[in-house]
Structure 1
Amino acid sequence: MCGIHVTLSPAPQTISPDLELCICNRGPDFLGRQTRSVADPWSLTFISTVLALRGDHLTKQPLTHPTSESVLCWNGEAWRIGGRQVEGNDGEAILDLLVEASASTASSPDAILDVLRTIEGPFAFVSYDQSRQTLFFGRDRLGRRSLMFHQGSTPGALTLSSVAQSCDSSWREVEADGIYSVDCSQPQGIAGGPVRHDWLTGSCADFVSSIGRFNTSLPSTKSVLTSSSSSVGALEEQLLNSLRLRVLNVPRPPSLDISSSTRVALLFSGGLDCTVLARLVHELLDKDQSVDLINVAFENPRVVAQLEKEAGGKPVNFYEACPDRITGRRSLAELEMVCPGRAFRFVAVNVPYSETLAHRDQVISLIHPHNTEMDLSIAYALYFAARGQGITSAGNSDLNTPELQYRSPARVLLSGLGADELFGGYGRHAVAFSRLGYPGLVDELLLDVSRLSKRNLGRDDRVMAHWGKEVRFPYLDECLVRWAMETPAWEKCDFDNGEDISGVEAGKRVLRLLALDLGMGGVAKEKKRAIQFGTRTAKMESGRVKGTTLIS
């Protein structure tokens, strides 16, 4: 994870102390600057910060090539390039490939674009090809990393940044729909605007999210999805392959406690998606590595008042009454039972209302240009979860053991986001099937997968990276997403069969059956719950506020 801030302007630019702090928070290990003169009087200023998670050494940014003087600001993870897994530092490997491609094609940028098109993983980047005086920038196909775009009052000027410099309405997110380029050789700057290049070339018009073709076939006969179905085993294999990239070889976090064995943490509601990840992480990590399970609960004044009223005015432990806290402790107990020898540390993040208010302006600044009450309530939960500061106890699921103040040292966070879209976990999927059968379900699933790149992942990246953490999404690995697209709907969620056959509900049934196979019967039956309701960040002051209401 890194911070990026790049400007094209008539003179080298400086940034405000507040913005520099935000950029440094994203990459606390190193801050670097580079400048390049382009068409007179224009200059490019590159600022990058680094959170070192790849390779055996700290790789300083902006990355610069010693002979070509090309520059790369890289924020993210290239798990595969050209279908091959990347060893060592991915940013260095990408810059070498870009320079090589530039040297091989003096007249066309196609070879440079082809290098970028072969990268799989979550990323945002800004790359400057010195020989062409061309700036390339973009976000990955699913938009898992933040990159903002701003054209200010100076005609032809451009700013690209991981975080907006202000809540100015002219800041917007770079779309995840392709690679963009800017010709910096003209004296008028970028008056013509950036040029967009598709992620895919050739006959790929029917590809969804520029990743693969969606299987729209319908069943010819009634089939039953069970634990022995091939899709259940295939999903386990896909998840294990995705997790290997994301949890193995994570460097030890810098910590005052050099004995710390925690390198990975999960955003843990206790729900199906995240608990299956925790269970499979247990299969991959060395036994001596502990895993932090970060569970968030908020003091919601409106809910607290109701709980105290029901209790007749007696004190209420409203944090432990939060839906996600209840589910989290229950799923922890099941994990401890099926994963003997693994140290799962339950981190109870309790957020007083006063602390929520104290961080409100910071969170609003980070989520910009998103500006609704729903954006804010979701962002609160992710923001405080990523900080990882809470209480834990020696017994974890035993509330009677002494509590200890704790802050997770893990700089890699795992999120279960994406499972609902891929495997039919939302209520609207059941509604679509009840109205139109499999044709309706297929259409709804296709719509959700096609909108993955439009999800608010840039917003989520900004609020979590603020704490020097990198969130990784195992369900959104390109190979797993491609497999899920190609798998028929009835092999993921067979809504024409009831619970009596498989023992679990139809929504995300393939994942629920995997949970059963992994020994977690209780987790397999957990219901879907939105994060803002599970943590109680929704409607903190008034029950009448709508999620679409603009933040005041």
Structure 2
Amino acid sequence: MCGIHALISPAISPLSQPRDLDSVSPELRRVLVARGPDHFGQACRKSNGWTLRFTSTVLALRGDHITRQPLESDNGSVLCWNGEAWRVNGQRIQAEANDAEVVLKLLVNVGSSAPGDERLETLLNALRAIEGPFAFVYYDYPAETLIYGRDRLGRRSLVLRQDGDELELCSVAGSLGNGWQEVEADGIYVARLKTQGGLDISRCPWIVGDKTADFTYSAFHQVFGLGRFNKTQPFGNPQLTRFSTSVTMLKEQLLESIRLRILNIPVPPSTDGRTRLSVLFSGGLDCTVLARLCHEVLDPDQAIDLLNVAFENPRVVAQLKNGADGTLSDFYEACPDRITGRRSFAELQKVNIPYAETLAHRQQVISLIYPHNTEMDLSIAYALYFAARGQGFCTDSSAFNTVPKPYTSPARVLLSGLGADELFGGYSRHLSAFQQRGYVGLVDELLLDVGRLGKRNLGRDDRVMSHWGKEVRFPFLDERLVRWAIETPSWEKCDFANGEDVTGVEANKRILRLLALELGMEGVAREKKRAIQFGSRTAKMESGRVKGTTLIS
């Protein structure tokens, strides 16, 4: 995980106000270092009447050393890399290697081997061959071309601001003024630096040969070039059971995704290394299945921190005070996610957030989620922001009646269950779509949800959680798992035609519920879906009449 910033501007005229090319503002440095506390570096290039300034900070989680960024090649090219490359051309990157160094070497080598007009397409194909969550800015110095973008699912943040011929890119920009927008995850962007001034910016889609403007609904329902969304109809009324092939396949896909993301995590600084991983843990279906499978993958001596966040919501507290006996119960323990968290797993790391502390961090959170700016964005971000911080009290199932001990999680890697609802039909609107148009309607709704994850959720969530020098990883959004999920018929994931059948679990995300049953977690398999802002009680803190779409004031 890293913080990246790039400023591309025409050569400065002697008559204009000079811009500091040797440093960034203190505020920009602060937010970038918060994301990457292990190294701060800069690089500058001047070419063809343009000045390009690059800044990177590093959170070292790959390889056997801290790789200093921006990375610079012998031919003058520069790479700012934020994220993870798990595989290149289908081959895993070795645990002792640093992925950013592998990517730079790949780009330099393929670029130098291609003749003139083919150079750009060769670079684009190399980027298309990378599997993993990433955002990047690459300056191909010999071709005087800037290439930037987010991975095809949009799992890492990159925002952009353009003012005339000046282009600015950054991991997070809420404190840097207005005019920013998220870089879409619909392709790779290329900016050619013209000799007479001006930027020629074009989008190159992830799918080779796809010229459609709407990448989500491209030919044959391709999704990000990963695969074709399966729209076939079932014969008869097939029923999902815990013995169905798709349930077994889901477990295999998840285990492989989890192994990539949790094995070989470096020991956090100033710790004994026993705890390197944490899980955003509401006690619900998605996160509990992840925690259970992590336990199968990790060595027995490695601990897993389960981060369970509960907020002091003034409206709820007032209701509890007005109880029959007039006393105030423990409003943190009354939070729905705290209740399911205790019920779902033996141990949990609990994070209690007083209302005053929420208000104290309000402007910081608003700044981080920008350009997102609704009350729903804010309520979701509160929960993720404080959970990622990992400061609270530690309790143990064998000692619930003892006084909880203050605890700060040393883990620098967080796992999130995001993506399970979109892939396997977890929202109420998925049932509604099925009731209106059958499995065809359901597939269209799933396609819409998967296609807008990068725009609606992932950039915002990355900015909020990375602020604490943590990296969030999404096992359900592994490219190979996503490809398998979208190519699997919908009735093999959530067979709404059968309602709550003999398995005793709901149809929404039934495949995942059946996997929970296979793992021996019957209570978890029957948990109802609950949005994070309601489970942690960050929604509607000031007024019960505020809508999620209301702009933040």
TM bracket, shorter-chain basis = over 0.9
Which of 372, 381, 384 in structure 1 is aligned with 2:383?
A: 381
The CA deviation string for residues 496-552 of structure 1, in whole angstroms up to 9 with x for no partner, is 113341121110000000000001000000010000000000000100111111111
Match of 2:288 in 1: 275
Partner amino acid, structure 2, of 1:319 = Y
Match of 1:362 in 2: 364
Partner amino acid, structure 2, of 1:177 = D
**Offset, 1:307:** 1.1
Which of 112, 119, 125 in structure 1 is aligned with 2:136?
A: 125
The CA deviation string for residues 369-426 of structure 1, in whole angstroms up to 9 with x for no partner, is 1111001000000000000001012x24642023110000000000000000111111
The CA deviation string for residues 70-116 of structure 1, in whole angstroms up to 9 with x for no partner, is 11000000111111111211110110110011111231311111101
Q: Secondary structure at the match of 2:219?
A: coil
Matched, 1:550 2:551: yes
Partner amino acid, structure 2, of 1:278 = A
Matched, 1:196 2:198: no
Match of 2:496 in 1: 495
Match of 1:285 in 2: 298
Percent pairwise identity: 64
Match of 2:534 in 1: 533
Contact 2:89–2:129 (CA under 8 A) maintained in structure 1: yes
CA distance in 1, matches of 2:517, 2:355: 38
Match of 1:438 in 2: 439
Contact 1:3–1:162 (CA under 8 A) maintained in structure 2: yes
Contact 1:64–1:71 (CA under 8 A) maintained in structure 2: yes
Match of 2:36 in 1: 27
Alignment of 1:400-479 (within 5 A): 400-479=401-480
Alignment of 1:34-45 (within 5 A): 34-40=43-49, 42-45=50-53
**Offset, 1:165:** 5.5
Alignment of 1:21-170 (within 5 A): 21-40=30-49, 42-65=50-73, 67-87=74-94, 88-108=97-117, 109-152=120-163, 155-164=164-173, 166=175, 168-170=177-179
**Number of residues paired by the alignment?**
532
CA distance in 1, matches of 2:115, 2:141: 12
Partner amino acid, structure 2, of 1:378 = I
Runs of 4+ in 1 over 6 A off after TM superposition: none
Contact 2:71–2:104 (CA under 8 A) maintained in structure 1: yes
Contact 1:167–1:365 (CA under 8 A) maintained in structure 2: no
Contact 1:378–1:531 (CA under 8 A) maintained in structure 2: yes
Q: Per the alignment, do residues 530 and 403 of structure 1 end up closer, same or farther by CA in structure 2, a change over 3 Å counting?
A: same
Q: Per the alignment, do residues 311 and 247 of structure 1 end up closer, same or farther by CA in structure 2, a change over 3 Å counting?
A: farther
CA distance in 1, matches of 2:207, 2:439: 30
Partner amino acid, structure 2, of 1:354 = A
Alignment of 1:235-384 (within 5 A): 235-255=250-270, 258-333=271-346, 344=347, 346-384=348-386
Partner amino acid, structure 2, of 1:389 = Q
Contact 1:125–1:137 (CA under 8 A) maintained in structure 2: yes
**Offset, 1:13:** 5.9
Q: Secondary structure at the match of 2:497?
A: coil
Matched, 1:3 2:3: yes
TM-score (norm 1): 0.94
Q: Secondary structure at the match of 1:479?
A: helix
Partner amino acid, structure 2, of 1:404 = K
Contact 1:74–1:126 (CA under 8 A) maintained in structure 2: yes
CA distance in 1, matches of 2:338, 2:8: 48
CA distance in 1, matches of 2:176, 2:460: 13
Q: Secondary structure at the match of 1:501?
A: coil
**Offset, 1:167:** 6.2
Contact 1:38–1:185 (CA under 8 A) maintained in structure 2: no
Q: Per the alignment, do residues 505 and 49 of structure 1 end up closer, same or farther by CA in structure 2, a change over 3 Å counting?
A: same
Question: Could you tell which deviates more after superposition, 471-480 or 422-431?
Answer: 422-431
Partner amino acid, structure 2, of 1:356 = T
The CA deviation string for residues 16-45 of structure 1, in whole angstroms up to 9 with x for no partner, is 2111100001000000011011122x2111
CA RMSD between the two structures: 1.4
**Offset, 1:313:** 2.6
CA distance in 2, matches of 1:235, 1:122: 21
CA distance in 2, matches of 1:351, 1:178: 39
CA distance in 1, matches of 2:402, 2:175: 46
Partner amino acid, structure 2, of 1:7 = L
Partner amino acid, structure 1, of 2:269 = P
Partner amino acid, structure 1, of 2:342 = R
Question: Could you tell which deviates more after superposition, 364-373 or 204-213?
Answer: 204-213
Identify unmatched segments of 5+ residues in structure 2. Answer: 13-20, 211-217
Contact 1:7–1:13 (CA under 8 A) maintained in structure 2: no
CA distance in 2, matches of 1:157, 1:442: 42
Question: Could you tell which deviates more after superposition, 98-107 or 381-390?
Answer: 98-107
The CA deviation string for residues 454-503 of structure 1, in whole angstroms up to 9 with x for no partner, is 33210110010000000000000010000001111110011111334112
Matched, 1:205 2:219: yes
Contact 2:207–2:224 (CA under 8 A) maintained in structure 1: no
Q: Per the alignment, do residues 426 and 29 of structure 1 end up closer, same or farther by CA in structure 2, a change over 3 Å counting?
A: same
**Offset, 1:311:** 4.6
Q: Secondary structure at the match of 2:498?
A: coil
CA distance in 1, matches of 2:545, 2:253: 43
